[in-house]
Amino acid sequence: MKNEWLKNIFSFFADLLNNAERGIVDFISAFVPYAVPIIPAYLTFYHTQDMMDFPAWVAWTSAFVVEALGLASVATVVRFYLHNKRYKSEQNRAPFWIAFGVYIFYIVVVITVNVILEVVANTRGGWIITAIGLFSLLSFPSGVLISIRTQYREMLDQKQAAKQGTQKPNNDNQTQPQREQKQKHASDYKDRIPVMLKAEFDKSGKVLTPKDITSALKLDHEKNKGYVSTARSKWMQESGIASSDHFKI
């Protein structure tokens, strides 16, 4: 009995630590990618202030906007790439190459400011400059992590919504039966067809043909001509119009 009691205590603490470990890892995974750009931002601040003689406030602003641009552009590139893999139709495709071009421009700016200026100054060794270059590109892995974590969270939300029956289908994923359910049939216009026939007959003395009716209602003529013809004949009979009549006498 005593051993069972000890086992329950240790099991409780083991579960507590495992849950805490998962929480800590999730927190670090979510927080660290946003802290990573601090390093390349400092490098940009240092080089713009000390080598380009920018005022301190301008150098800090440059560091912030450059790294924000890098983080946003790489995250956008990844999101657009995954979006275009999911949606194949041209009208739903995101401008991936524009976002990619923005990121390339960011790379050019960062390498020029943090690496080329070091090479020109010739005050550091080659490996130190290489390390500075690698630190300057840390926004790439951080942006990728942020983006794929966001995509994964959205995927889980969509699955949860699908289970609850609240997910709205998009045009690319909509199945053919769903599209067919939205198609109108002549029976949907059973009250409108007699009104159309009477309005045209009162106006011109002409009895609309089944083709005229399906065209006006934007229906598939072959699928709906039977119903329309029956409704037309019924209206003519009720109105006392012979089938050979086309105009008022």
Distance of CA 140 to the CA centre of its chain: 21
**Looking at residue 136, what is its pLDDT?**
86
**Looking at residue 247, what is its pLDDT?**
43
* Residue 223 tokens, joined: 């699928």
Instruction: Answer whether 66's CB lies under 8 Å from 41's CB.
Output: yes
How far apart (Å, rounded) are the C-alpha atoms in residues 123 and 244?
A: 102
**Looking at residue 70, what is its pLDDT?**
86
* Residue 234 tokens, joined: 């019924």
* Residue 84 tokens, joined: 């275009």
**Looking at residue 2, what is its pLDDT?**
54
pLDDT in single tens digits along all 249 residues of the chain: 556 776 777 677 777 777 777 778 777 877 888 888 888 899 999 999 988 989 999 999 999 999 888 888 888 888 888 888 877 777 778 888 998 898 899 999 999 998 998 888 888 888 998 998 898 888 888 888 887 777 777 777 777 777 776 545 555 555 555 444 557 788 888 888 888 888 888 888 788 888 888 888 888 888 888 888 888 888 888 887 776 544 443
pTM: 0.53
Distance of CA 210 to the CA centre of its chain: 44
Single out the residue of 243, 70, 52 nearest to residue 141, CA to CA: 70
**Looking at residue 180, what is its pLDDT?**
47
Could you give the maximum distance between any two Cα atoms of the chain, in Å?
109
Q: Integer distance in angstroms from the first to the last C-alpha of the chain?
A: 107
**Looking at residue 3, what is its pLDDT?**
62
Residue 241 CB neighbour total at 10 angstroms: 16
Instruction: Answer whether 233's CB lies under 8 Å from 242's CB.
Output: no
